[in-house]
Every structure is written in C-alpha cells, then in structure tokens.
C-alpha cells in the first residue's frame, strides 16, 4: 500500500529538502519529487552539485511541502543512492518529461538518482478549525511524537484549558490534551502552576 503522505508530496512536487554540509551548516533547496512508488520517494541531483556531495556524506534529509490548502507535510528520513543510475534516470524522465528541457539528450546522465525509503512524517492542517495533525512513518523508522502531555501531577485547576488558543484540552474525567488538535505552542506548559505538563518523549 502506498503512503498517502508521500503521494501528497508528489502532488505538491516542488518541495524543500534540507541536508547538513560537512561544516555542520544546514542547507536547504527546492527539489522536485520525481516519483513515488513502493513506499519510497524518488528524486535526483547532478554530480557537480554540493547537494550530491552532502547526500553521500550524510544521508539524513528533511523534506517539507505545503498544499494550496495549507496542509503541510514534514518528513525526516534517510536518502539512498540508487545503483542502477541509467534505469532510474530514464524512469524519472519518462514520468517528468519537462526534465528534457533542462537536461536534453545524453546530458541527463550527469544526474544521479536517490530515494527516501524510510522516514517519519508529520501532517499538519492549519486550514481546519481547530488545527489538525497526524503522525506516520514508513520503512524502518518510527513516528516522532512531539508536543506536550499532562501528567499525574495535575491538580485540575483548569488554567491550561482556559489559556489554550485551540481549546483542545479536555476536562471530562481528567485534563488531557487532544493531541491531534494541538498547536505545540507551549502556552499550557508555561502557565501550569505546578509544572504538571511535560514535553512528549521523542520516539514512540
């Protein structure tokens, strides 16, 4: 089954991809998502680019894209250099014929194919009220949960719920954050008088 969020990134097509250069500086650029199949996202870059060298040195990448309707997809994952260069570049050009305008004829083979076949994904829809978010992962990576949670130290004073800009803190049986609607703004965390709210553990 295909990952629906990878398909949305393919529909957005031009997304930001970040790497880390050898001097530790973050580097971002716009790339085109060329293909999505087999739970993987495919892209390419030319051997002369710093981007290519960075990918070979450190394959961890971050991708972010947003639809016209303000639905954002963030992906953190691992890029893999594909060995069958000509096969993949030909496939990429077949699915993205506009590439022939930039790299006509045999020039296409200066490009090298990569795929991201494992990663964690965050989906965030800021167009809905309240906001809506989901987490997902593919390949051999786990979802990365962020935000805050209310612990057993809560004294039920209600201050966090009064201050929450998205009104996403339930108070039915106990105070609890509706994670799918949380902005991750931290206002509840800062205003809780007994420090009963903690950041969520990163990996789940």
- Contact positions vs ligand SF4 (CB under 6 A): 148, 150, 154-160, 164-166, 168-169, 175, 177, 182-188, 192, 194, 196-197
Strands 40-46 and 35-37: antiparallel
Question: Cβ closer to ligand SF4: 145 or 187?
Answer: 187
For the CB of residue 121, give the shortest distance to ligand SF4 in the complex, in Å: 20
Q: How far is the CB of 66 from ligand SF4 (least distance, A)?
A: 20
Instruction: Quote the least distance from Cβ 45 to ligand SF4, whole Å.
Output: 37
> For the purposes of burial, counting CB atoms within 10 Å of the CB of 5, is it exposed (0-12), middle (13-18) or buried (19 or more)?
buried
3-state secondary structure of 62: strand
Cβ 102 to ligand SF4 shortest distance, Å: 43
Q: Which is nearer to ligand SF4, 48 or 152 (CB)?
A: 152
CB nearer to ligand SF4: give 11 or 170. Answer: 170
Give the pair of three-digit tokens for residue 175: 């105070």
Cβ-based nearer residue to ligand SF4, 60 or 194: 194
- Give the DSSP letter string of 126-168: -SSSS-EEEEEEETT---B--SEEE-TT-----HHHHH-TT--
Positive/negative CA dihedral, 175, 181, 184, 186: negative
Asked if residues 41 and 33 have their Cβ atoms less than 8 Å apart, the reply is yes
Measured from the CB atom, the residue of 114 and 148 that comes closer to ligand SF4 is: 148
- Residue bearing tokens 């394959």: 59
Element (DSSP H or E) covering residue 94: helix 85-95
Compute CA distances 53 → 21, 27, 77, 103, whole Å: 8, 12, 17, 20
- Closest CB to ligand SF4 among residues 35, 196: 196
Q: How far is the CB of 163 from ligand SF4 (least distance, A)?
A: 6
What is the closest distance, in whole angstroms, from the C-beta atom of residue 144 to ligand SF4 in the complex? Answer: 17
């Amino acid at each position: 089954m295909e990952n629906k969020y990878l398909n949305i990134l393919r529909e957005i097509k031009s997304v930001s991809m970040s790497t880390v250069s050898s001097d530790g500086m973050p580097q971002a650029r716009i790339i085109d998502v060329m293909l999505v199949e087999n739970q993987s996202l495919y892209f390419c870059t030319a051997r002369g680019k710093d981007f290519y060298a960075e990918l070979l040195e450190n394959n961890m990448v971050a991708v972010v894209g947003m639809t016209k309707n303000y639905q954002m997809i963030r992906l953190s994952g691992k890029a893999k250099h594909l060995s069958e260069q000509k096969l993949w570049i030909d496939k990429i050009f077949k699915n993205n014929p506009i590439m022939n305008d930039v790299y006509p004829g045999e020039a296409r083979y200066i490009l090298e194919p990569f795929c991201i076949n494992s990663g964690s994904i965050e989906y965030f829809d800021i167009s809905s009220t309240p906001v809506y978010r989901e987490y997902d992962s593919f390949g051999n990576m786990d979802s990365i949960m962020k935000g805050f949670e209310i612990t057993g130290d809560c004294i039920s004073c209600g201050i966090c719920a009064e201050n929450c800009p998205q009104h996403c803190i339930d108070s039915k049986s106990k105070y609890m954050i509706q994670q799918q609607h949380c902005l991750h703004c931290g206002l509840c965390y800062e205003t809780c008088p007994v420090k009963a709210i903690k950041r969520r553990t990163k990996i789940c």
